[in-house]
């Protein structure tokens, strides 16, 4: 996303160009019922299943007048024009089992209550009391693309916990966390500057997770690592927990990956994430390597995802990108993503109708419209269909 360095208060009216040709509902393959039965299913491991997730699960579009500002400042602003249902509705009605949240530190509280784009469009501050409280906030871009279906990390977590408590046999829910900073151009134009992700704020992530979820509900690196082995060696040689062991649990991993300050700080003195609540994206061969991402499954990337999945890593990929996929009528990517064997395939169009305003019928979901299926790459030979959540 490219945002111009100058902001203006009065802008010409612009409209969203719904230029996409009608897409196709593609789900790759025919729905089946697992032939192994529930006894076999209980032995399936987490790397042997596949689930759909929602990209930027929190995201809601801004008002029409704010969209005019976005489009005037960013030629690619149309890519921001997608909205998700509330998190409980995604879990209940859309068969979503992987969520994505973008996080910003706010240790003092109140930092993000009056977005710049609201000032420029003559609106007042946001009145949600959660924004005034100290704690981590959830949004896409402060001041420029701020709307969300749950404004604080704790509120999002409480929504997940409430649904989980009501459905204790659900397959594990995975939450991908991207730790973000303010856009420098927006800051230069008068927006707020988010605090850095220093050790105190990183520790705050664990604290907030554990303030909502009990250790019984949390699937942490300590639950996976075996005695005397690194986390990576544990998952590659001993395996992930079984589906039954992980039912009703929530696990987290950082989008921010590879070598870098966030991963280094979070692992300081804890090379295998001892005591931590979140998995990191350690490079292959590193002690903390267990979860990774390959965003685009097309081309040679599909074979790379399959290689990682066969080794025993958990992989996330994407079936589409807003709004390029629907505007270009690019319907093949969902099939490629599913057949890659990535355990989490994320989308912005999990149910029919979400892309209709762009003249597209595109939808990305598992065959059989189910929350969980046997992984097409890593599952045992007897597992070739949907997996029951009981």
User: What is the pLDDT, as a whole number, of residue 170?
Assistant: 97
Mean pLDDT value of segment 336-344:
98
Dist CA 138 CA 253 (whole Å): 16
State which H helix or E strand residue 174 sits in.
strand 173-179
Q: Give backbone dihedrals phi and psi of 218, rounded to 5 degrees, phi first.
A: -95, 130
> What pLDDT, on a 0 to 100 scale, did the predictor assign at position 2?
56
Give residue 38's pLDDT band: very low, low, confident or very high (50, 70, 90).
low
pLDDT for res 31:
42
Q: H or E element: which one contains 104?
A: strand 96-104
Is residue 327 pLDDT above 80, yes or no? yes
pTM value > 0.75:
yes
Q: Which helix (H) or strand (E) holds 325?
A: helix 324-327
Distance of CA 25 to the CA centre of its chain: 22
Q: ∠161-167-168 over CA atoms, to 5°? A: 85
Per the document, the length of the chain is: 390
pLDDT tens digits for range 148-193:
999 999 999 999 999 999 999 999 999 999 999 999 999 999 999 9
For residue 238, how far is the Cα from the chain centroid? 27
> Quick one: pLDDT at residue 175?
99
Q: Mean of the per-residue pLDDT values for the chain?
A: 91
Q: Which of 60, 84, 251 is nearest to 164 (CA)?
A: 251
3-class SS at 208?
A: helix
Chain segment 287-326, per-residue pLDDT in tens = 999 999 999 999 999 999 999 999 999 999 999 999 999 9
Spell out the domain ranges in the chain. Answer: 44-374
Concatenated DSSP letters for 18-86? --PPP--EE--S---B-SSHHHHHTT-BGGGEEEEEETTTTB----HHHHHHHHHH-TTGGGG------
Do residues 372 and 387 make contact, with C-beta atoms less than 8 angstroms apart? yes
Which whole number is the average pLDDT over 190-211?
98
Quote the CA–CA distance of 91 and 85 in Å, as a whole number: 10
**Among 40-44, 225-229, 249-253, the least confident range:** 40-44
pLDDT of residue 136 exceeding 70, the answer is: yes
How much is the pLDDT for 258? 67
Query: What average pLDDT does the segment 353-359 reach?
Result: 95
Mark 340-359 as b/e (b = at least 16 C-beta within 10 Å).
Answer: bbbbbbbbbbbbeebbbebe
2: DSSP letter: -
Closest C-alpha among 377, 372, 212, 252 to residue 306:
377
Q: For 10-26, how does the pLDDT look when each residue is reduced to its tens digit (9 = 90+)?
A: 332 222 222 222 223 33
What pLDDT shows up at residue 257?
78
- 34 vs 344: which has the higher pLDDT: 344
Q: Is the separation of the CB atoms in 334 and 50 below 8 Å?
A: no
- Residue 23, token pair as written in the block: 């897409």
Of the pLDDT bands very low, low, confident and very high (cuts 50, 70, 90), residue 1 is low
The residue behind tokens 């009501």 is 166
Structure-token match 């705050």, residue found: 204
What sign results for the dihedral spanned by CA atoms 116, 157, 174, 198?
Answer: positive
Three-class SS of residue 51? strand
The pLDDT of residue 351 is: 97
Residues 283-290, mean pLDDT to the nearest whole number: 96
Task: Tell me the C-alpha to C-alpha distance, in Å, between residue 336 and each of 111, 306, 387.
Answer: 42, 11, 21
372: tokens are 């969980």
Q: Are strands 372-374 and 49-54 parallel, antiparallel or unpaired?
A: antiparallel
d(CA 283, CA 366) in angstroms, rounded, equals 29
- Look at residue 40 in the predicted model and tell me its pLDDT: 72
pLDDT tens readout for residues 81-125: 999 999 999 999 999 999 999 999 999 999 999 999 999 999 999
pLDDT band at 36 (very low <50, low <70, confident <90, very high): low
pLDDT at 275 over 80: yes
| Architecture of the 44-374 domain | Alpha-Beta Barrel (3.20)
pLDDT value at position 42? 75
Residue 378: pLDDT above 50? yes
SS3 63: coil
Q: Give the relative orientation of helices 153-166 and 199-212 as an angle to the nearest 10 degrees.
A: 30
């Amino acid at each position: 996303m490219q945002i111009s360095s100058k902001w203006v208060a009065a802008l010409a009216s612009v409209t969203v160009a719904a230029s996409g040709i009608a897409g196709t509902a593609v789900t790759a393959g025919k729905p089946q019922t697992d032939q192994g039965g529930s006894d076999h299913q209980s032995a399936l491991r987490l790397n042997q299943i596949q689930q759909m997730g929602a990209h930027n699960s929190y995201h809601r579009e801004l008002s029409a007048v704010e969209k005019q500002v976005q489009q005037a400042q960013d030629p690619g602003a149309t890519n921001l024009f997608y909205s998700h249902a509330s998190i409980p509705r995604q879990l209940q009605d859309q068969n979503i089992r992987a969520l994505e949240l973008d996080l910003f530190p706010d240790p003092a509280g109140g930092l993000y209550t009056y977005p710049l784009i609201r000032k420029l469009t003559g609106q007042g501050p946001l009145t949600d009391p959660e924004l005034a409280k100290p704690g981590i906030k959830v949004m896409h871009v402060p001041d420029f693309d701020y709307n969300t279906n749950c404004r604080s990390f704790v509120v999002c977590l409480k929504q997940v916990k409430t649904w989980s408590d009501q459905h204790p046999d659900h397959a594990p829910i995975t939450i991908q966390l991207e730790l973000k900073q303010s856009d420098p151009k927006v800051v230069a134009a008068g927006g707020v500057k988010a605090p850095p992700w220093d050790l105190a704020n990183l520790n705050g992530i664990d604290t907030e997770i554990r303030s909502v979820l009990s250790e019984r509900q949390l699937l942490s690196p300590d639950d996976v690592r075996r005695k005397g082995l690194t986390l990576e060696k544990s998952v590659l040689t001993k395996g992930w927990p079984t589906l039954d062991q992980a039912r009703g649990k929530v696990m987290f991993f950082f989008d921010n990956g590879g070598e870098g300050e966030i991963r280094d700080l979070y692992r300081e003195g804890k090379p295998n994430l001892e005591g931590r609540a979140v998995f990191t994206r350690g490079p292959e061969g590193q002690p903390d390597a267990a979860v990774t991402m390959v965003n685009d499954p097309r081309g040679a990337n599909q074979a790379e995802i399959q290689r990682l999945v066969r080794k025993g890593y958990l992989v996330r990929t994407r079936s589409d990108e807003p709004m390029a996929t629907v505007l270009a009528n690019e319907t093949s990517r969902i099939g490629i993503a599913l057949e890659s064997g990535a355990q989490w395939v994320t989308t912005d169009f999990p149910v029919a109708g979400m892309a209709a305003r762009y003249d597209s019928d595109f939808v990305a979901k598992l065959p059989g419209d189910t929350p969980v299926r046997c992984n097409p790459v890593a599952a045992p030979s007897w597992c070739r269909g949907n997996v029951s959540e009981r």
